Amino acid sequence: MRKLIIQIPCFNEEATLGETLAALPHSIPGIDVIETLIIDDGSSDGTAEVARRAGATYLLRLPVHAGLARAFSAGLDAALKLGADVIVNTDADHQYPGADIPRLVAPIVAGHVEIMIGDRGPTTSRQFGVVKRFLQGMGSWVVRRLSGTTVPDATSGFRAFSRRAALRLNVVTKFTYTLETIIQAGKKHIPIGHFPITPNPVHRPSRLFGSMALYVRRSVATMMRIYALYEPLTVFVGLGGLTVLLGFIIGGRFAFEWLFEGGGGHIQSLILAAVLVIVGFQTMLIGLVADLIASSRSLVEDTLLRVRELELRLGREADVERLQAGTPLPPARAESGRHAR
C-alpha cells in the first residue's frame, strides 16, 4: 500500500487554507492512501480551527513561530513517521493548483526521479513584476550552476519527494528550504525533475520577507553557505587564490618601482602585498581542512540516514498512535484532524 501525505506549512492562513484543502485531489493513480498534514507554525489566528473543519488528517502545531524552513523540516519528519512513501509540499495561500498534484507525483511513483518541482515560469509570469522576474531568473540560474541541476524555478514550493529523498535531505538554514534542498539534491546526486504549472491568482503578497533587498541578501547568503558546505575546497581555494594573486600584483608593482625608481615612499605596498599573500595561503589551508571535514560530514550523513531508517522502522507505530491520540510529538505539538472534530 503506497501512502501520499500532502503537507502544508501555515502561518496565519485562516483566510485561504480551506480553499487550498478543498482543491486537493482525493485519488491519484499509483497511490492507495492520501492524507493531509497541516503544520501550524505558531499561528495567532484561526488556522488550526480551519484545518479541523476542512477535514485535515493531521495537525502539527509548533508552539512558537519558527519560520518556513523549520516548519517544512518538521513536516517532513512527521510525514515520515506517519509512514509516507511520497510527500507533497504546497503552500497554504492556494498559489499552487491542487489539480496538478497527480502530475507532480507521477514521475516519483514511476521511479524516474526522487524529487519533482512545479515550474511557475518565473521569468515570464505576469504575476511577477519586471524586477522580480529578473531576480527570480538570475537566482534560479545561479542555483542551477551551483547544484548542477536543470531546475528553472528554484524558489517554487510546489514539490514532491520520495521517502528516500526526504530521509536524505537535511535543512540547516532558518530562512527558506527551497534553495538549500535543490543544492543538496544536486550534490547528493538525487534525481530531480520539473514540469510547468500555471499558478492560481495571487491572493496576497508573500510574507516570507519584508523587502526585496532583504530577500536577495538572505538568499545569496543561503546559497553561499550551502555551496561552501558541500564544496569548501573550491570556495576557499578560489578566495585564497584571488587574495594571493592580488598580493603578487601589488608586490610586483613595488618591485618595479624599487628597481627603476628607487622604491621610496612605497613601503606600504610591500607590507600590504605580504599581508595579502599570507592571508591568501591561510585561506587555502582553511579550505583543505574544511574539505577534510566535509568528507567526514558525508560519512556522518550516511550514518544519520541509517539511524533515521532504523528509528522510523522501530518507532513509527508508536508515533502514529501518539499523533492520532493528540499526545505531544516532540519537538512540536501534534494532533489528528479526524479526532479533533
Name the residue with cell 570556495. 235
Cell of 241: 587564490
Alpha-carbon distance 85 to 6, whole Å?
11
Q: What are the angstrom distances between the C-alpha of 321 and each of 3, 32, 73, 210, 326? A: 17, 21, 21, 40, 9
Cell of 331: 519537538
Query: Packing angle between helix 267-325 and helix 232-261, nearest 10 degrees?
Result: 170
Q: What is the per-residue pLDDT for 228?
A: 82
Q: What is the per-residue pLDDT for 207?
A: 61
Q: What is the per-residue pLDDT for 325?
A: 45
Read out DSSP for 158-188? -EEEEHHHHHH-----SS-SHHHHHHHHHHT
Q: What is the per-residue pLDDT for 151?
A: 93
Name the residue with cell 618601482. 257
Q: What is the per-residue pLDDT for 117?
A: 96
Q: What is the per-residue pLDDT for 205?
A: 61
Q: What is the per-residue pLDDT for 316?
A: 58
Alpha-carbon distance 22 to 36, whole Å?
11
48 closest CA partner among 292, 333, 249, 265: 333
pLDDT by residue for the chain (341 residues), tens only, comes to: 799 999 999 999 999 999 999 999 999 999 999 999 999 998 999 999 999 999 899 999 998 888 888 999 999 999 998 889 999 999 998 999 999 999 999 999 999 999 999 999 888 877 777 877 888 888 888 889 888 899 999 989 999 999 999 999 888 877 778 888 998 899 889 999 999 999 888 766 666 665 667 777 777 877 787 788 778 888 899 999 999 999 999 888 888 877 777 656 677 888 899 999 999 999 999 988 888 887 777 777 777 777 777 777 666 555 555 554 444 444 444 455 543 33
Q: Would you state the torsion angle of the CA atoms of residues 172, 315, 3, 57, taken in this order, to the nearest 10 degrees?
A: -80
Answer yes or no: pTM beyond 0.75: yes
Locate the domains of the chain by residue range.
Answer: 3-230, 232-297
Written as one letter, the residue type at 249 is: I
User: Which fold, 3-230?
Assistant: Spore Coat Polysaccharide Biosynthesis Protein SpsA; Chain A (3.90.550)
